[in-house]
């Protein structure tokens, strides 16, 4: 009898164990950017919705065993986001979400903007070295849909968003609009992405907060928030690469001091050196480079008042491939016809002429005053100084001038900017931002004339609003800008001071709708504009690197874009899909076009290019599909299609990136907690030949398409601090392919770099004070 009862008891307990629906899951909701706990965020499992407590902690109980989708319910706290969890789950689940508070502060529109495949892919963490490639901002952003790059040799890389670059992109460095000589296609952004922490792309006419020029979009380069009330932590990053035999070291330390923790600091530094790059068959002469960057930030965060000071310096020395410095058209033709450049070099870390020295200083004062829980005002003052020196291949004939070793020309750009904005939270569903901004800028050159001296004044005012409920989200904004440019230029040996004034409104309206749990549909309409830039108005001279004479047109009008975007996202554990289409119509698109006849100079005849305006359309499609194959493997397909037409002349638009497809196969282990994880990723990028070009409009027809194979493998270990220790070995151009890219200005002269092995190590550290535990 006893045995029988025992048997029944065991049976029952086994039965009840297998059907046990009494599990609980504990977790916390944290901000993906700041890692801060989010109180009162709504999370759900199946139909059960609860709120996190004031410490951002949630507890689900009465759960059965199995796999569930933990969802952050879209509301003001966070973006709709899913996390797959397994029950039972003994650990503390950390659910990182995109919050709107952060966005309202800096990236208001981004959250609602399409194409936002997921928060992860539209915001990149620069410390996620298992996903990020390259050392420059331009290379690192390529992972975003619609982003490609424009390069000059291998060291100067600029980001391109849906075919737009340079003057048509705004880069915001830690809250300040970066003001360098960004008009030049061989002028890379003067930013060390290591400091950034986060890289975010905002597309469409939505960069309203950041003023004019955001035609292609806004790139936000933002460091993590200062560590108020937190312990000291930081990281050290080391990397080495085989091609160029170079390497870099970067480190950051941040923490708070004084007992209250209201004061915090952050210091960072980066140094990098690279030698001559090698194409598969030869050394690409004079492609060495070196750079350093450092920054310091100090902040105070009280109940009402927040203040932070920031200073950063960036400096780089870049060698310019010698074979690209062309005397005239005859030299250029010789360069085209030879498959190998005339003088290839040997390996060196030294730079010879032609070369560039670029330095950028940025200082910032940021004040925030929280009037009450609903209203806060912020003020940002920024001062920037940009120095650019370009050295020609040819030193001066006059010995005494040559002995000074002066740059062929030097540009100095000083910028003062002030932005004031007030944010009002009318209700849980409706928020507004009112802002004004002003900018004062002076440019001075010395040496060879390329762009004149100028003074620029800009002022703007804007309103942004966001309304959101469980299903719908509306965002809208309006801005008006005024820009005044005074130029100091010699005409017939007489100094003249013409003034150009431009003003125009910008507007944006977006709508997004959640359909069920898996779909989001987004639409955006907007208009943005930019005044013509200084080079488009006044450049007049020989561009050595391009062997052409570029002539500006002082009569150019403003360029206005009307854009529309439509996107769909699907997300579940079967697949992640993001497809978007966009159409941009330009009123007065400014483009550099060939103009006959060639100009006769003492150095021979040169083709002449003039800045002209015409109405154009640029449209395309960006898509990405990610499918998990089994437990450990995922496959991603990403494609960009871009078409541009000059409507006035009814021909293809020059200089659009060609279409490309990227496929990635990633294997990764799924260890949770502090377990060691490893991953292997293989990537194949197919870049097609640009067939949409006008015959005889370029020196040489676009290079043929290519398929680039790269791979990387690494280990990731989560440390107690929550940060990841990472070691990654990567190889780009695995097959050592000789190829040329249409968006590289040196495509006429030399192949791209060959195979490159890279080893990257990221070591996070965190210092916990012992006395605090006592």
Place of tokens 């009814």: 650
Report how many residues bind another protein under the rule CB under 8 A: 60
Nearest to 293, CA basis, from 317, 276, 275: 317
Nearest to 160, CA basis, from 522, 524, 683, 660: 660
Exactly one of 123, 166, 453, 690 binds another protein (CB under 8 A); that residue is 453
Here the tokens at position 450 are 């390329």
Q: Is 595 exposed, middle or buried (0-12, 13-18, 19+ CB in 10 A)?
A: middle
Spatial contact of 553 and 611, defined as CB atoms under 8 Å apart: yes
Q: How far is the CB of 327 from another protein (least distance, A)?
A: 3
Q: How far is the CB of 356 from another protein (least distance, A)?
A: 18
Largest CA distance in the chain: 118
Exactly one of 8, 10, 401, 627 binds another protein (CB under 8 A); that residue is 401
Q: How far is the CB of 88 from another protein (least distance, A)?
A: 50
DSSP single-letter state for residue 174: T
* Separation between Cα atoms, residue 705 and residue 156, nearest integer Å: 21
Q: How far is the CB of 186 from another protein (least distance, A)?
A: 18
Q: How far is the CB of 770 from another protein (least distance, A)?
A: 28
- Judged by phi (left if over 0) then psi (alpha if -120 to 50, else beta), residue 736 lies in left
Q: How far is the CB of 379 from another protein (least distance, A)?
A: 11
Q: How far is the CB of 108 from another protein (least distance, A)?
A: 26
Exactly one of 240, 247, 271, 327 binds another protein (CB under 8 A); that residue is 327
Percent helix, strand, coil in the chain (nearest 5)? 10, 55, 35
Closer residue to another protein (CB): 496 or 697: 496
Is position 397 an interface residue for another protein (rule: CB under 8 A)? yes
Contact residues for 650 (Cβ-Cβ < 8 A; gap 6+)? none
Exactly one of 307, 509, 523, 575 binds another protein (CB under 8 A); that residue is 307
Q: How far is the CB of 376 from another protein (least distance, A)?
A: 17
Binding map of another protein across residues 586-625, x = CB under 8 A, - = no contact = -------------xxxxxx-x-------------------
Q: Is 584 exposed, middle or buried (0-12, 13-18, 19+ CB in 10 A)?
A: buried
Closer residue to another protein (CB): 307 or 575: 307
Exactly one of 1, 3, 90, 495 binds another protein (CB under 8 A); that residue is 495
Spatial contact of 221 and 252, defined as CB atoms under 8 Å apart: no
Exactly one of 97, 147, 214, 326 binds another protein (CB under 8 A); that residue is 326
Q: Footprint of another protein on residues 546-565 (CB under 8 A)?
A: 549, 551
Q: What are phi and psi of 183, to 5 degrees?
A: -65, -25
Exactly one of 71, 100, 131, 325 binds another protein (CB under 8 A); that residue is 325
* Separation between Cα atoms, residue 764 and residue 767, nearest integer Å: 10
Task: Identify which range of 272-280, 329-337, 575-583, 701-709 contacts another protein by CB under 8 A.
Answer: 329-337
Task: Identify which range of 1-9, 249-257, 436-444, 763-771 contacts another protein by CB under 8 A.
Answer: 436-444
- Range 165-168 contact pairs with CB under 8 angstroms and sequence separation of 24 or more: 165/216, 167/213, 167/530, 167/533, 167/536, 168/213, 168/215, 168/216, 168/530
Exactly one of 51, 315, 412, 645 binds another protein (CB under 8 A); that residue is 412
Here the tokens at position 620 are 């395309």
Task: Identify which range of 190-198, 201-209, 305-313, 699-707 contacts another protein by CB under 8 A.
Answer: 305-313
Exactly one of 15, 21, 92, 305 binds another protein (CB under 8 A); that residue is 305
Nearest to 162, CA basis, from 215, 121, 108: 215
Q: How far is the CB of 409 from another protein (least distance, A)?
A: 9
Task: Identify which range of 15-23, 448-456, 575-583, 721-729 contacts another protein by CB under 8 A.
Answer: 448-456
Here the tokens at position 309 are 């000071």
* Separation between Cα atoms, residue 740 and residue 744, nearest integer Å: 8
* Separation between Cα atoms, residue 139 and residue 136, nearest integer Å: 5
Closer residue to another protein (CB): 555 or 650: 555
Exactly one of 54, 398, 650, 720 binds another protein (CB under 8 A); that residue is 398
Q: How far is the CB of 329 from another protein (least distance, A)?
A: 9
Q: In whole angstroms, how far apart are CA 198 and each of 52, 248, 682, 764?
A: 26, 20, 24, 16
Nearest to 420, CA basis, from 493, 369, 358: 369
Task: Identify which range of 107-115, 272-280, 440-448, 711-719 contacts another protein by CB under 8 A.
Answer: 440-448
Q: How far is the CB of 393 from another protein (least distance, A)?
A: 6
Closer residue to another protein (CB): 205 or 549: 549
Q: Footprint of another protein on residues 524-543 (CB under 8 A)?
A: 540-542
Closer residue to another protein (CB): 253 or 329: 329
* Separation between Cα atoms, residue 650 and residue 524, nearest integer Å: 27
Contact residues for 17 (Cβ-Cβ < 8 A; gap 6+)? none
Binding map of another protein across residues 357-396, x = CB under 8 A, - = no contact = ------x-x---------------x-x-x-------xx-x
Instruction: Tell me the torsion sign for CA atoms 280, 283, 287, 289.
Output: positive
Q: How far is the CB of 554 from another protein (least distance, A)?
A: 14
Closer residue to another protein (CB): 189 or 341: 341
Task: Identify which range of 54-62, 397-405, 639-647, 685-693 contacts another protein by CB under 8 A.
Answer: 397-405
Is position 183 an interface residue for another protein (rule: CB under 8 A)? no
Q: Which H or E element spans position 456?
A: strand 453-468
**What is the three-class DSSP state of 173?**
strand
Exactly one of 490, 501, 674, 675 binds another protein (CB under 8 A); that residue is 490
Length of the chain measured in residues: 774
Closer residue to another protein (CB): 39 or 541: 541
Task: Identify which range of 76-84, 266-274, 276-284, 303-311 contacts another protein by CB under 8 A.
Answer: 303-311
DSSP single-letter state for residue 702: P
* Separation between Cα atoms, residue 541 and residue 137, nearest integer Å: 30
Is position 448 an interface residue for another protein (rule: CB under 8 A)? yes
Closer residue to another protein (CB): 194 or 539: 539
Q: How far is the CB of 719 from another protein (least distance, A)?
A: 34
- In sequence order, what E strands does 281-408 have? 283-284, 289-301, 305-319, 355-370, 375-391
Is position 336 an interface residue for another protein (rule: CB under 8 A)? no
Is position 303 an interface residue for another protein (rule: CB under 8 A)? no
Here the tokens at position 42 are 């709504």
Here the tokens at position 258 are 């004084």
User: Between the CA atoms of 225, 228, 233 and 237, what dihedral angle is there, to the nearest 10 degrees?
Assistant: 20
Q: How many CB atoms sit inside 10 A of residue 325's CB?
A: 18
- In sequence order, what E strands does 572-632 have? 576-601, 604-629
Exactly one of 90, 339, 399, 696 binds another protein (CB under 8 A); that residue is 399
Closer residue to another protein (CB): 5 or 602: 602
Exactly one of 444, 461, 521, 729 binds another protein (CB under 8 A); that residue is 444
Q: Which residues bind another protein (CB under 8 A)?
A: 298, 300, 302, 305, 307, 309, 311, 325-328, 330-331, 334, 342-343, 363, 365, 381, 383, 385, 393-394, 396-399, 401, 412, 414, 442-449, 452-455, 488-490, 493, 495, 497, 540-542, 549, 551, 599-604, 606
């Amino acid at each position: 009898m006893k045995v029988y009862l025992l048997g029944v008891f065991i049976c029952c307990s086994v039965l009840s164990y297998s059907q046990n629906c009494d599990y609980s899951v504990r977790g916390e909701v944290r901000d993906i950017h700041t890692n801060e706990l989010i109180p009162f965020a709504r999370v759900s499992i199946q139909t059960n919705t609860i709120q996190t407590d004031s410490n951002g902690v949630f507890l689900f109980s009465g759960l059965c065993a199995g796999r569930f989708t933990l969802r952050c319910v879209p509301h003001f706290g966070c973006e709709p986001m899913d996390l797959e969890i397994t029950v039972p789950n003994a650990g503390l689940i950390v659910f990182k979400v995109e919050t709107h508070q952060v966005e309202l502060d800096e990236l208001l529109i981004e959250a609602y903007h399409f194409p936002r495949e997921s928060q992860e892919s539209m915001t990149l963490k620069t410390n996620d070295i298992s996903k990020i490639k390259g050392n420059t901002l331009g290379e690192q952003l390529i992972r975003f849909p619609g982003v490609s790059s424009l390069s000059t040799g291998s060291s100067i890389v600029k980001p391109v968003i849906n075919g737009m670059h340079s003057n048509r992109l705004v880069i915001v460095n830690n809250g300040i609009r970066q003001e360098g000589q960004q008009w030049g296609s061989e002028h890379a952004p003067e930013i060390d992405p290591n400091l950034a922490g986060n890289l975010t792309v905002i597309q469409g006419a939505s960069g309203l907060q950041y003023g004019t020029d955001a035609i292609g979009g806004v790139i936000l380069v933002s460091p993590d928030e200062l560590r108020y009330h937190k312990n000291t932590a930081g990281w050290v990053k080391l990397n080495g690469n085989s091609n160029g035999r170079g390497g870099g070291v970067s480190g950051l330390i941040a923490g708070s001091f004084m007992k209250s923790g209201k004061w915090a600091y952050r210091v960072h530094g980066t140094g990098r050196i690279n030698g001559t790059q090698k194409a598969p068959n030869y050394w690409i002469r004079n492609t060495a480079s070196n750079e350093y960057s450092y920054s310091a930030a100090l902040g105070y965060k009280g109940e009402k008042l927040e203040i932070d000071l920031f200073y950063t310096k960036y400096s780089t020395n870049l060698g310019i491939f010698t074979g690209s410095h062309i005397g005239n058209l005859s030299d250029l033709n010789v360069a085209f016809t030879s498959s190998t450049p005339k003088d290839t070099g040997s390996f060196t870390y030294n730079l010879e002429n032609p070369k560039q020295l670029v330095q950028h200083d940025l200082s910032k004062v940021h004040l925030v005053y929280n009037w009450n829980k609903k209203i806060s005002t912020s003020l940002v003052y920024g001062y920037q100084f940009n120095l650019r020196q370009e050295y020609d291949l040819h030193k001066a004939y006059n010995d005494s001038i040559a002995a000074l070793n002066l740059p062929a020309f030097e540009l100095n750009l000083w910028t003062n900017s002030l932005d004031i904005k007030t944010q009002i939270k009318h209700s849980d569903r409706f928020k507004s931002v009112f802002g004004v901004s002003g900018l004062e800028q002076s440019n001075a050159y010395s040496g060879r004339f390329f762009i004149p001296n100028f003074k620029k004044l800009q002022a703007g005012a804007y309103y942004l609003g966001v309304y959101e409920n469980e299903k719908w989200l509306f965002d809208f904004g309006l801005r008006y800008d005024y820009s005044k440019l005074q130029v100091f230029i010699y005409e017939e040996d007489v100094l003249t001071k013409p003034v150009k004034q431009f003003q125009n409104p910008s507007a944006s309206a977006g709508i997004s709708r959640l359909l069920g749990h898996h779909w989001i549909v987004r639409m955006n309409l907007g208009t943005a504009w930019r005044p013509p830039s200084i080079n488009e108005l006044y450049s007049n001279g020989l561009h050595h690197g391009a062997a052409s004479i570029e002539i500006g047109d002082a009569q150019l009008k403003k360029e206005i874009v009307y854009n529309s975007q439509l996107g769909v996202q699907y997300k579940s554990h079967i697949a992640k899909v993001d497809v978007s289409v966009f159409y941009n119509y330009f009123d007065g698109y400014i483009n550099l076009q060939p103009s006959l006849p060639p100009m006769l100079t003492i150095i021979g005849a040169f083709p002449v290019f003039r800045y002209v305006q015409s109405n154009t359309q640029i449209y395309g499609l960006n898509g990405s599909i990610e499918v998990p194959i089994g437990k450990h493997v995922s496959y991603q397909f990403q494609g960009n299609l871009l078409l541009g037409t000059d409507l006035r002349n009814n021909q293809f638009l020059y200089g659009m990136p060609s279409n490309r497809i990227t496929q990635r196969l990633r294997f990764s282990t799924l260890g949770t907690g502090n377990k060691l994880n490893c991953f292997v990723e293989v990537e194949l990028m197919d870049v097609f030949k640009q067939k949409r070009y006008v015959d005889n409009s370029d020196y040489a027809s676009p290079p043929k398409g290519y398929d680039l194979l790269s791979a990387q493998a690494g280990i990731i270990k989560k440390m107690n601090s929550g940060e990841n220790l990472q070691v990654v070995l990567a190889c780009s151009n695995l097959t050592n392919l000789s190829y040329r890219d249409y968006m590289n200005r040196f495509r006429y002269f030399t192949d791209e770099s060959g195979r490159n092995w890279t080893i990257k190590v990221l070591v996070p550290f965190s210092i916990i004070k012992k006395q605090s535990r006592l």
